[in-house]
Structures are given as C-alpha cells and as structure tokens.
Structure 1
Amino acid sequence: MQISNLLWHSAARTDTGKVRARNEDAFLDQPERGLWVVADGMGGHQNGDLASRLIVESLAELSEDCDFNQRLEQLRQCLHRLNRHLSLGLTVTSENPEMLVGSTVVALLAEGSRVACVWAGDSRCYLLRGRQLYQLTRDHSLLQQLIDERGMSAEEAARQPAAHALTRAIGAAEELQLDILELESLPGDVFLLCSDGLYQELSHDQLSAALIRPSAGLALQRLFELVLDGPARDNLSAVVINR
C-alpha cells in the first residue's frame, strides 16, 4: 500500500434498477491503490456486460510499482488495447448492427494530492469542493455535441432523435480518443464516478446534497435511495471517493 493513498476513503455500488433484465455496469474500488473506475456496457448491444467487466478487470491488473505519470500512461495504453481488442472483427454493418460490443469508462487515478480523470463516453466524474459541485467530465454524446456545435439548449438537444447516442466509447470505433483531466486535490474533496443511470435520475442539487454527507458510505447510500425510490429505468453504478 502506498502511504499517500491512505488519504483516500471510498464506497462503491451497482444495481440493475427496476426495468433492465441484466446489469451491464461494472466498477472498480481500490482506495489503497488510488484507482477507481465505472464502466457502462453499451445498452441494447450484445455482451455490453462483458465489455464493462473486461475494462474493470484489466485496469485492476495494472502495475502500481511506478510513479504517477507512468501509471497514468499504463492506464491510457490499457484502454487503447482494449478498444482494439473489442473493435477488432466487430465491424458494424447496416445488416448486423448488433455486432457492436462496447462500454463507456470513467477512471480516477490518485497519488497524494495528484489526481487524473480519464474517460470516454457519458459516464461522469463530479467533484464536490466545499459546498460547490462541479462536473469534471464532458459527455461524449450527440446531445452534448448538439449543445456545443449548434448552440442548442439542453432541453432542445434532448428532444432530437438519438440525442443520447454516444460519440465515443471503448470498442465503438477503430480509433479511440480519450479525454484526460489532471488536477490537485484538496483535503475535504469528494469525487463521484457514476453511470448515466444514476445522474440522469437526479438533479444537480440532489447530487450535491447527497455528497455533503459525512462519509463515502452514507453519501452512496443516499444516492441509491433517491434513484431507487424513482423509476430507476437503467442500471446504476457509483463510486464515492473522499479525501
């Protein structure tokens, strides 16, 4: 165990929800290594649950016997390898679109006060600092693209056909583009990694109020209570990480 990662405490959970027949989400919760992941298998596609589990299991095996920069590069390379593996021979054609196997991913890597968030797709990372909640990731979805490129409001974009289709994911295309955000964490920071099945059911204020709770476990419990008291139309996963 790295001494610097004794700073971190976390709790993680996944649930199938009330509508889906199976859970295509997966998570990794390793505070002793400073590594957390949420992956959401692409809904409605064959073997989405296998893709998300493969991502989590592969990242869990990465070496920690190197410095932060090397660990971040290992993580990035691992996701590129998985993308090649999942997309190889799985060419999507108009005759057989169900061949696609893929998953979103959002990962948080921490060592001491250094933190890096890596993602592809619409699983998110939030930061609660003080009483202010920030969304650190930007969704790789058609909805976000319509907002950014056409100046639509979120409400207008959500009404467009296939608004929630992903523009990036592991296994969805031959070439993978990852976004990486590095920052310095502060004592008291709370991070949330989650799939869209969680954040789509909750308002910004509900997310913030849950994360203000005094422990990662209590925050996680409140998040799941809120979603499961509602329709819970999708699989939901979350990891809450406290410093």
Structure 2
Amino acid sequence: MAPSRASGSAGRTDPGKVRPRNEDAFLDGAAQGLWVVADGLGGHQSGDIASRLIVNQLAALKPEPDVELRSEAVRRCLHWLNRRLTEELTLACDRRGGVIGSTVVALLVEEGKGICIWAGDSRCYLWRDHALYQLSKDHSLRQQRLSTQAQAPGSGDRQSGDHALTRAVGAQSRLTLEVLTFEVRPGDVFLLCSDGLYQSVDNRQLSAALALGSARRAVDWLFDCALAGTAMDNLTAVVVRR
C-alpha cells in the first residue's frame, strides 16, 4: 500500500537572530508519508553536517509497503548514521574525542496510524479537538530530573546544565531511540520543531498557529512570532495536517 498523503504539509528553517550558521535541517516528505526535523548539537563543530546527513539519508530511503516497515527502515538508518557519526566522520574530521551529532524527530503517517521516532529534544506536537498535546518527551537532563525526582516546590525550575541532552544521533556509540505508535484521526495537525522554535513561542501561540487551517500559514505564523522575539537559536518547524 502506498503511503496515504496528508491533506497538507509545510516546513521552514531560519538561523534566527544570533547564530551565524543554521545547524537545523528538515524533511517535508509528504509523498513518502515521512517528516523529519534534525537539530545539530549546539556548541559542537559540524552540527550542520550531522543534521543534513540525517535528513538526506532518510529522504533517500526506498519505499516500503506499510508504515511499520517504513518505521523499521527509519530506525535502521538512524542506527547506521549513529555508527557513522561516532566513528567514521569524527576520525575523518580529525576530532578524536569530539562529537558530530544531532537530535532527530521523525513522523510517519498512514491512514489511521502514526509513528513518532526521536532522540534528543526536538519535539512532536499533536493538535486535536482544539487541544495541544506533546507526543515526544525530551531526552535532556531537565526532563530526566523531572521524571525521577519527587517534585518539591520550585523543583521544576530550570537549573544549570538542564539543556544538556541525554540522547542524540552521534553522541554515543550506542543509540537508543524512543518510538510512539498512535491512532491518527481526521483533522489531526502535527508539529515537528527544534528547541529554538518551541522556546521562542508559548503553547497558546502553538495552538493558535495549528488552528489556522493551513500548514503553510501555521508555519509562517509561528516564524513571525518567533522572529518578533529574541530568536537566539536556529528555528525549524514542519506542520502536517490530516
């Protein structure tokens, strides 16, 4: 069965107002039923190489007959890329002990079924019945702390080092991906985005954008909001409407 096309999708990326280089990349693969956002690791060299490699390799995957097989192909590709980034590219760039890595969040949709695959803190949101849900859970020290500690008053406040990632493609020799399978309903709207985007807008703005009725309008409205602020990081968003 060929992938069922979404009723519309659109993507956009921007370096923001501070960073000299855009280390984000995205795939708007409506024909494949595959959408991806990758965010090169900040503070490391060649994050743009990692994010673009991820997007290009996933875009080149051969068609599979159903969403489960496509999900397996995406995961195999990401594990292969993790080995390449942690071994071959690091040595080739003469950065022994260094890191060339990227977050990744991928969405696969077939009629009635969706699969989200991710590592890192790029996110997948679902807007359904006028409510916003975060489908992915950040792989970061902050999220780890919030998930494992008893919540005393003020314990949810950000702390030094909270931005550090616990998972990413290329960050460690062994990659652990998180996978979520869920029902897709008519009218669902999905947002994939890098942390630079969701840290520049609030949930009210996210919901307002996804309610606009057009993937392109939603993306452009989110960028208008983000770029009206400080936009200190690269910005990337992909919106998918069913």
Query: TM > 0.5 between the two?
Result: yes
Distance 2:153 2:42 in 1: 22
Alignment of 1:169-184 (within 5 A): 169-184=168-183
Aligned to 1:144: 143
Q: Which residue of 2 aligns with 1:100?
A: 99
Instruction: Report if aligned partners of 1:143, 1:154 keep a CA contact under 8 Å in 2.
Output: no
The DSSP-based 3-state class of the residue aligned with 1:239 is strand
User: Helix, strand or coil: the match of 1:99?
Assistant: coil
Alpha-carbon distance in 1 for matches of 2:157, 2:98? 27
Distance 1:187-1:74 versus aligned 2 partners, 3 A rule:
same
- Where does residue 205 of structure 1 map in the other structure? 204
What letter is aligned with 1:123?
S
Judged with a 3 Å threshold, the aligned counterparts in structure 2 of structure 1 residues 23 and 158 are, in CA distance, closer, same or farther, namely farther
Shift of residue 171 of structure 1? Answer: 0.3
- Rounded to whole Å, the distance in 1 between the matches of 2:237 and 2:72 is 24
Whether the 8 Å contact between 1:128 and 1:191 is mirrored in structure 2 is yes
Give the equivalent residue in structure 2 for 1:20: 19
- Are the counterparts in 2 of residues 29 and 37 from structure 1 also a CA contact under 8 Å? yes
Partner SS, residue 5 of structure 2: helix
Give identity over the alignment, percent: 55
Q: Which runs of 5+ in 1 are unaligned?
A: none
Could you tell me how far apart the structure 2 residues matched to 1:28 and 1:178 are? 19
Instruction: Tell me the TM-score normalized by structure 1.
Output: 0.93
Q: TM-score under structure 2 normalisation?
A: 0.93
Which residue identity lines up with residue 185 of structure 1 in the other structure? V
Q: Which residue of 2 aligns with 1:230?
A: 229
CA distance in 1, matches of 2:134, 2:109: 18
**Is the contact made by 1:190 and 1:211 (CA closer than 8 Å) also made in structure 2?**
yes
Instruction: Render the CA deviation track for 1:75-129: whole Å, top value 9, x for unaligned.
Output: 10100000011111649xxxx7972110000000112221100000000000000
Q: Name the amino acid aligned to 1:187.
A: P
The two structures, once aligned, show a CA RMSD in angstroms of 1.9
**Tell me, what secondary structure is at the counterpart of 2:102?**
coil
Instruction: State the 1:162 CA deviation.
Output: 0.9
Aligned position for 1:165: 164
The answer to which of 98-107 and 119-128 deviates more is: 98-107
Q: Which letter maps to 2:70? A: R
Tell me the secondary structure at the aligned position of residue 6 of structure 1: coil
Distance 1:152 1:97 in 2: 40
34-43 or 60-69, which deviates more: 60-69
1:123 corresponds in structure 2 to 122
CA separation in 1, counterparts of 2:5 and 2:85?
Answer: 35
- Equivalent AA in structure 1 for residue 86 of structure 2: S
**Unmatched 5+ residue regions in structure 2?**
none
Aligned partners of 1:154, 1:36: CA distance in 2, in Å? 39
Find the residue that maps to 1:80 and give its secondary structure: helix
Distance across 2 between alignment mates of 1:27 and 1:154: 38
AA paired with 2:58? L
**1:112–1:206 distance in 2 versus 1, CA, 3 Å:** same
